[in-house]
Structure 1
């Protein structure tokens, strides 16, 4: 016996195995009462004898022949009532109609033994664990006028539903589906629901499918985008929320989707920081009025807040190795770096956002380190422009910020060394131009800047090497 086609329940489909149902419906006799005088397995009033047996000859028998499917009872004779079977099951309704026709033909031959008037039906059951007991339980439910009371767990509904589908027991199917729609599932239960959905009609499966099927193709990206924005803007305890979202991004299976959502968030945050610095540096906002000062404070705070978000996004992109576009865009910011230099040469930012220079330089250092380490494979043009545009910002910070915040010295040294490593990857002509701008990396003692000494020695060693053109030709 197998479930039937969900659209037209008259064509057989592949069988549905159930899991163990030991102890299923221990209290079914109390639940399975009907308003008529008939009762389940009542031999005194029955007009149908149903043989319920395990069909060991089925195709799946060999695959399920281990000891777990051996039953003490594999052949039952049940006394049932045609009026109940007709009312409850379209399967039995069709079967009884055919048998009644055959019975009428036999009666016309003169048979008058009352026992021959009992209709005898066979219902084979696949040799799956406890499938026989599940069929027996569903047949008991034919006599119940309170089906919802018997379906009180997801496991019960999932055990019953395949058999109810086989027997076209539509009332029971509806009760099982409605119950499953309304409760949470374990992962195993969800797997079983997914296995049953193809056997349900479209109307029956709509709510179940809505729970497990995305509304649109890019719903995962919508979720990730919303999580990123929420982590950056909507939570006071931002550090923990960002850590949680970072874990979700690491665990997410599609790197391309993570790349797209992070790039969109990066572009948005970078745009806000740039616009805030542009307005702050604009001559239109120069003056001593209270309104102008308030606007300037707002611009700096906006730049600082979104700069922190930008740093977190860059860290996530580098961690997932999807920061290629971010490096390229960061290397194409001559106007932004010019605004930063103008802002840091003044003192207004010091009492408003003293940490802004460090945030900006950390963003640069993260991307530059990834480039110099080979985590991000940037083109020569990108490497050159990254140093060319951001080296002046580092120099201005050393000149104007360092006296106030000596704790920035390790960050400066890290970025100096990283820039010098990137310069060493450029053609000699580009390196010549950029290295001359790096003289400000030197401090009072030559011993304090070995990274700069090494960079110049490397350049001079290469510059004094004899040409290799003839050897190459």
Structure 2
């Protein structure tokens, strides 16, 4: 049953309520009776005269015979006597009042002149009191009879809250109210269901009723379970990412929580789009901050350029950390291909980084910025070298070509001299050399000489560099491509 399908028109039961058997049942999956927080009305008041007039034979003008419709699926059910105590299991009569029953459009139709001639529905007494005899067939799931009796008693009352006081009660009463076209009761059930929480199982049952409700009745129920537009999930996820990296003092815990949401998100494509969007935004802020910091015109246009420089470097550093977290999430989900392409096409940005890293002010104000940028590069380059992100050789070449000078500047200016940073740039050196080994020999010939700064006084400390050059020269001794072909 889809939510977007056409609405079904409400119709009277004509004595048949079987269409609701699968929607409402008080049976547990194992066939046992489920506990009810409140026993419905109805059965308890059958043999007593109600103060409201329900089942009052002294002035009733309608005798309603309720009888049970047996089902071939009832063989394994418990006897109905467990639900209705000593009441006749086959049929019994209620003394009711036509002016009250007409609150139900179903009974109003049966009591109209149009239907009185149909003996299948109505029998009119010959005496002057004009007593109507109506028959109402009730399907036999245990508990459904109680729901019918409850709805019939609610016809005599405007205090629906006395009975509709739980989700289970509302879900038991609603199918009967729909079948009998008791609009006031339907509205009371829907209003209660809209206002209270549901379990997952209750939500499924609520949704089963939606096609049977009018649009204005189902609108608020659907609003809490159906998004207003197809992009709601992505908008929500993007908002959580932004909040995690910008707005929380306990950022580490919130980031860990959002990272789990990303891992568990049902659509990897949606997660990729959201992460790409957040990545682009953070990268844009870092680039703009470094561009302003490095611009000679900018430095001469302000009375206090040092203060502005601090702001720009602080902004770049903060959003650089955000970038690193986003890159880690992308690699974890294996959706970092777009980020690699963006990162490999940043010649202007890497030029600004080189100028900033040569500047004493940058080293003093934001000493951690070089390590953050190198870590982002190393994460993406490692994923490429490992084959978890597959990109064309042109992108691999640009990644090394644009970011290799940044690594060299960091190393030459002693920006990565801490023990942890030293292992970081050695890791990136090895990764760049591995990527170079995947490139056409002409590109490798252009890039390898730029890697000579990887060497140390002790050749044994740079086996990665030795291996890279040996590999290139070994390949260079092969015959040209045309001769091989």
TM-score of the aligned structures, taking structure 1 as reference length: 0.89
Q: Give 2:243's aligned residue.
A: 230
Q: Give the 3-state SS of the residue equivalent to 2:20 in structure 1.
A: coil
**Residue in 1 that maps onto 2:292:** 279
Partner Cα distance (1:78, 1:25) in 2: 24
* Alpha-carbon distance in structure 1 between the residues aligned to 2:124 and 2:356: 106
Contact 1:85 1:93 in 2 (8 A): no
In structure 2, C-alpha distance between the alignment counterparts of 1:74 and 1:229, rounded to whole Å: 63
Q: Name the structure 1 match of 2:55.
A: 41
* 1:291 shift after superposition: 1.0
Give the superposition deviation at 1:320: 1.7
Contact kept in structure 2, 1:99 and 1:119, CA below 8 Å: no
Is 1:93 aligned with 2:108? yes
> 1:470 deviation in Å?
4.3
How far apart, CA to CA, are the structure 2 residues paired with 1:387 and 1:380? 11
Cα drift, residue 464 of structure 1: 1.5
Asked whether the equivalents of residues 124 and 131 of structure 2 are also in contact (C-alpha less than 8 Å), the reply is: no
> Cα 1:162–1:69, aligned 2, differ >3 Å: closer, same or farther?
farther
Alignment of 1:351-430 (within 5 A): 351-402=364-415, 404-430=417-443
- Residues 177 and 183, structure 2, Cα contact 8 Å, conserved in 1: yes
Partner of residue 191, structure 1: 204
Distance change >3 Å, CA 83–CA 354, structure 1 → 2: same
Alpha-carbon offset, residue 51 of structure 1: 2.4
Gaps of 5+ in 2: 1-5, 27-33, 82-87
SS state at 1:401 partner: coil
* Residue pairs, 1:242-391, within 5 angstroms: 242-286=255-299, 291-391=304-404
Q: Please give the secondary structure, in 2, of the residue aligned with 1:212.
A: coil
1:157-186 Cα offsets, whole Å, 9 max, x none, are: 111111110011111111111111111111
Distance 1:48 1:24 in 2: 32
Report the Cα offset of residue 8 of structure 1: 4.2
Q: 1:24 to 1:441 in 2, by over 3 A?
A: closer
Query: Partner of 1:149 in structure 2?
Result: 162
Contact 2:345–2:398, Cα closer than 8 Å, also in 1? yes
Distance 1:228 1:24, change over 3 A: closer
Contact 2:290/2:353 (<8 A) preserved: yes
Deviation at 1:85, TM superposition (A): 4.3
Alpha-carbon distance between aligned partners in 2 of 1:408 and 1:171, rounded to the nearest angstrom: 72
Q: Which residue of 2 aligns with 1:121?
A: 134
Question: In the superposition, relative to structure 1, how do residues 158 and 297 fare at CA in structure 2: closer, same or farther (>3 Å)?
Answer: same
Residue pair 2:105, 2:182 contacting (<8 A) in 1 also = yes
**Distance (whole Å) between structure 2 residues aligned to residue 396 and residue 66 of structure 1:** 84
Q: Secondary structure at the match of 1:386?
A: helix
- 2:40 touches 2:146 (CA, 8 Å); kept in 1? no
Residue in structure 1 matched with residue 95 of structure 2 by the alignment: 80
User: C-alpha distance in 2, partners of 1:23/1:253?
Assistant: 36
SS at match of 2:111: helix
Q: 1:318 to 1:121 in 2, by over 3 A?
A: same
8 Å CA contact 2:42–2:147 kept in 1: the answer is no
Cα-Cα RMSD:
2.9
Distance 1:42 1:387, change over 3 A: same
Greater mean deviation of Cα atoms: 123-132 or 360-369: 123-132
The structural deviation recorded for 1:468 is 5.8
Using the size of structure 2 for normalisation, the TM-score is 0.87
**Of the candidates 188, 191, 202, which is equivalent to residue 175 of structure 1?**
188
* 2: CA distance, partners of 1:29 / 1:75: 16
Distance 1:26 1:236, change over 3 A: same
Q: 1-side partners of 2:123 and 2:284: how far apart? A: 89
Counterpart selection for 1:18 from 18, 24, 38: 24
Aligned CA distance change for structure 1 residues 378 and 263 (closer, same or farther; 3 Å): same
CA deviation after TM superposition for structure 1 residue 26, in Å = 3.1
- Residues 428 and 459, structure 1, Cα contact 8 Å, conserved in 2: yes
CA contact (8 A) 1:279 1:285 kept: yes
Answer yes or no: is the 8 Å Cα contact 1:51–1:75 preserved in 2. no
Q: Point out the more displaced range, 343-352 or 386-395.
A: 343-352
Cα 1:113/1:430, change in 2 over 3 Å: same
- Cα distance 1:142–1:327, how it changes in 2: closer, same or farther (>3 A)? same
**Structure 1 residue 336: deviation in Å?**
0.6
Q: Quote the offset at 1:40 in angstroms.
A: 2.6
Conserved 8 A contact 1:7-1:202:
no
* Structure-2 change in CA distance of 1:445 and 1:11 (3 Å): farther
- How much does 1:264 deviate? 1.4
Rate the CA distance shift 1:145–1:402 in 2: closer, same or farther, 3 A: closer
Once residues 284 and 310 of structure 1 are traced to their aligned partners in structure 2, the CA distance between those partners, rounded to angstroms, is: 28
In 2, are the aligned partners of 1:402 and 1:409 still within 8 Å (CA)?
Answer: no
Q: CA deviation at 1:285?
A: 3.8
Change (3 A) 1:346 1:37: closer
Q: CA deviation at 1:38?
A: 5.2
Render the CA deviation track for 1:197-220: whole Å, top value 9, x for unaligned: 111111111111111121112111
The answer to whether the Cα contact below 8 Å between 1:47 and 1:79 also exists between their aligned partners in 2 is no
